[in-house]
Every structure is written in C-alpha cells, then in structure tokens.
C-alpha cells in the first residue's frame, strides 16, 4: 500500500471507531409532560403576565440522580405586532420542575410544547 494513503485511511477510520463506542453506551430519555399550566393576570406594576407550568418528569429509565435540559417552545400572539415562535431552556429533575416565562400585557400564548430533551444515562 502506498504510504501516502495510510494517514488518510487512519483519519477516516477514527471517527467510525468513536461512533461505534458511543453507540455502545445506551442513552435514555425521561418523559416530560405538562401537569399544571397557568397564565396570571397582568401585574400593574410591570405590565406583565406570567406563564407558569409544572412539568412532570418520569425519569424511571434514567440512572439515579439524573438531570438534564429541555426547551419549551412557544407560539406567541401579540395584539400589535407579529406573532412569534421562540424557545426557553430549562433544567429537568425528577419528579417535577416549575417553569415560568414573562409576557407583556398585550401578548398571549397560542401554543406551547416540549422539545430537545437531553438524554440521560440508562438505569442498570
């Protein structure tokens, strides 16, 4: 084999070896769900409303003391201005976590959902 090809073959093989090792380690994901959702009245002092939710975390497939991050995606409606989709990042920990986001008085939440839940080490 030509000596100039050996470094190229090694460079191509190393990522495959790393992927194979990573695939051998099992990763699980907790199940997250909205349990309680509220939208407060406008606070006169700040002219804001607070959206809060309790997110239940079923991490029974995860190793003990696991935690990670997740996003809540919002579709926001605004009286005067464009509607907007945005994401807020939070940390999950069993058995539940309370999350909150402030909105202006002229804004409302059209929809919301959970996305990008980080995996956790699987329980043995």
Residue 17 confidence (pLDDT): 40
Q: CATH no. for residue 38?
A: 2.60.40
Residues 36-70 have pLDDT tens digits of: 999 999 888 888 999 999 999 999 999 999 999 99
Q: Which of 35, 119, 28 is nearest to 70 (CA)?
A: 119
pLDDT band at 94 (very low <50, low <70, confident <90, very high): very high
Q: Say which residue, 84 or 11, is predicted with more confidence.
A: 84
User: Could you tell me if residue 5 is inside a domain?
Assistant: no
User: Could you tell me if residue 41 is inside a domain?
Assistant: yes
Range of the domain at 80: 26-121
Read off the pTM: 0.76
Q: Kindly state the average pLDDT of the residues 86-108.
A: 96
**Assign residue 119 a region: left if phi > 0, alpha if psi is -120 to 50, beta otherwise?**
beta
Residues 66-87 have pLDDT tens digits of: 999 999 999 999 988 889 999 9
Contacts with 104 (C-beta within 8 Å, 6 or more apart), sequence order: 47, 48, 49, 78
Q: How far is CA 88 from the centre of its chain?
A: 8
User: Could you tell me if residue 96 is inside a domain?
Assistant: yes
Fill in the DSSP letter of residue 122: B
Count the domains in the chain: 1
Q: Are 40 and 50 in contact (CB under 8 A)?
A: yes
User: Could you tell me if residue 105 is inside a domain?
Assistant: yes
């Amino acid at each position: 084999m030509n000596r100039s090809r050996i470094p190229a073959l090694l460079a191509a093989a190393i990522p495959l070896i790393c992927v194979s090792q990573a695939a051998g380690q099992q990763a699980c994901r907790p199940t997250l769900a909205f349990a309680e959702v509220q939208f407060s009245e406008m606070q006169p002092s700040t002219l804001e409303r607070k959206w809060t939710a309790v997110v239940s975390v079923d991490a029974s497939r995860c190793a003990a003391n696991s935690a990670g991050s997740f996003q809540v995606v919002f579709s926001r409606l605004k009286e005067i201005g464009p509607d907007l989709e945005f994401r807020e990042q939070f940390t999950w920990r069993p058995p539940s976590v309370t999350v909150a986001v402030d909105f202006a008085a002229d804004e409302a939440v059209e929809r919301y959902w959970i996305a990008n839940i980080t995996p956790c080490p699987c329980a043995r």
